[in-house]
Structure 1
Amino acid sequence: MNAITSLLSAFGLSTAAGLNAYLPLLTVGLLARYTNLIQLDGTYRLLTHPVVLLIIAVLALVDFIGDKIPAVDHVLHTAGLLIAPIAGAILFLSANSANGTVSPLLAAICGILVAGATHSARATARPLATVTTAGVANPVISFMEDASALALSVLAVILPVVAFLLVVVFAVLMFWLYRRLAARRAARRT
């Protein structure tokens, strides 16, 4: 990957980590281990180790199941406030490890901010869905988040430009939704 595609890939992977911290890590680890689609250098090759892949897979499975249960999903989202930004930083750093075009400190900060913002938006929206649907929609929403995280992870590696464009669309939608909700709150107050 050249410098630009590595950067676009990093943004896509970090955003996916905000939706599900484990699926992008697992995707990158498996793709780096079994294909030539992504090259991991240095410390990030650890993501390809079978034991690490197994641990991430078990965590992904626990998260996949737990996130479908209304009370458990809120606990997982609270833990995700720390886990998702860390995963985002690891993914941003690993995507740039082959060519090192971005300072590692800046890459880590970008990964933390992108994954953290994505996870915060997700964790903020979920209680609203829980209240309005009495938790019935949680499994469906969770599955859509997981599918989006997986698709975005694969796209970030295979088609980084498309993944980045999806990230931009997601950011615009979140901003629009936030503005709309803020306008509704302001209208209720008056």
Structure 2
Amino acid sequence: MITALTTSGLATAAGFNAYIPLLALGLLDRFTPWVSLPEGWTWLSDTWMLIILGVLFVVELVADKIPGIDAINDIFQTLIRPAAGGITFASGYGADTVTVNSGEELASSGTWIAVIIGIVIALLIHLGKSFTRAAANTATVGVAAPVISTAEDGASVLFSAAAVFLPVLVIVLLLILVIGVAGLLGRLRNREKPRY
């Protein structure tokens, strides 16, 4: 159960921002005793990979805050975020983290299953995020883009941290996410209705 929460939290984080959970896993594996990635995934903590992920993170951090460019970035990220979700889900299943000692059952039955599950989770989050972002940008003429993007980055950091250090918190964060998105969509629908 804890393993499933950890990996689901990492894949959810990737749906918001592909690079935050990848960087978190790589940096924590490289510099702390809190995460020990399985042998097949140690490339995430390689120096060059961390540099590449760091540069891509900065590019997305900036691009996602600019109205118009954020929409183009979301199209591009439709491939990247689900892939990152698959990677984080699968690598998290075999990782030794503060709260997860092993996920050998799923890993031994076929890593591709974990990758597919992670892809689906991250894709669902990404699509929901993209839809919400498009509606918010339309309703606010793009003014909301930096605020929403910052909230999405914060959500990615929260899900990544919860997944590694307190996986039970992933359930709470998912509930808050669902309630928040429903409330935001309700407000946006009310704004779009013409008043007579």
TM-score, length-scaled by structure 2: 0.84
How many residues are paired up?
A: 181
2:91 aligned to which of 94, 111, 125: 94
Distance 2:185 2:65 in 1: 28
Question: For residues 183 and 143 of structure 2, what CA distance do their matches in structure 1 show?
Answer: 22
- 2:99 maps to none
**Matching residue within 130, 134, 138 for 1:123:** 130
The separation in 1 between residues aligned to 2:12 and 2:89, in whole angstroms, is: 10
Deviation of 1:173 after TM superposition, in Å, equals 5.4
Structure 1, unaligned stretches of length 5 or more?
none
**Which residue does the alignment assign to 1:75?**
72
**2:4 pairs with 3, 7, 16, which one?**
7
Query: Aligned partners of 1:121, 1:167: CA distance in 2, in Å?
Result: 13
Deviation, 1:108, is 1.1
Q: Is the 8 A contact 1:11 1:164 kept in 2?
A: no
Q: How many angstroms apart in 1 are the aligned matches of 2:24 and 2:2?
A: 17
Seq. identity, %: 36
Pair 27,171 (structure 1): closer, same or farther in 2 beyond 3 Å: same
Mapped partners of 2:122, 2:178: distance in 1:
12
Q: 2:172 aligns with which of 165, 168, 186?
A: 165
2:38 is the alignment partner of 1:41: yes
Which digits, 9 at most, give the CA deviation of each residue in 1:134-169, with x for residues without a partner? Answer: 111100110110011012111110111112331244
Question: Partner of 1:60: helix, strand, or coil?
Answer: helix
Structure 2: gaps (5+ residues): 96-101
Deviation of 1:43 (Å)? 1.9
**Residue in 2 aligned with 1:141?**
148
Take 1:144 and 1:168, find their aligned partners in 2: how far apart are those partners? 16
Q: Determine which of 41, 54, 59 is the counterpart of 2:56.
A: 59
> Is the contact made by 1:90 and 1:108 (CA closer than 8 Å) also made in structure 2?
yes
Distance of 2:105 and 2:186 partners within structure 1: 38
Distance 1:178 1:112, change over 3 A: farther
Q: Calculate the aligned-residue CA RMSD, in Å.
A: 2.2
CA distance in 2, matches of 1:88, 1:177: 26
CA distance 1:111–1:70, change in 2 (3 Å): same
Where in structure 1 do 4 or more consecutive aligned residues deviate above 3 Å? 171-174, 176-181
Moved more, 16-25 or 101-110: 101-110
Q: 2 CA distance for matches of 1:71 and 1:161?
A: 37
Matched letter for residue 94 of structure 1: S
The 8 Å contact of residues 7 and 95 in structure 1, kept in 2 or not, is answered as no
Tell me, yes or no, if the aligned pair for 1:17 and 1:115 is still in contact at 8 Å. yes
Do 2:15 and 2:85's aligned partners in 1 also have CA atoms closer than 8 Å? Answer: yes
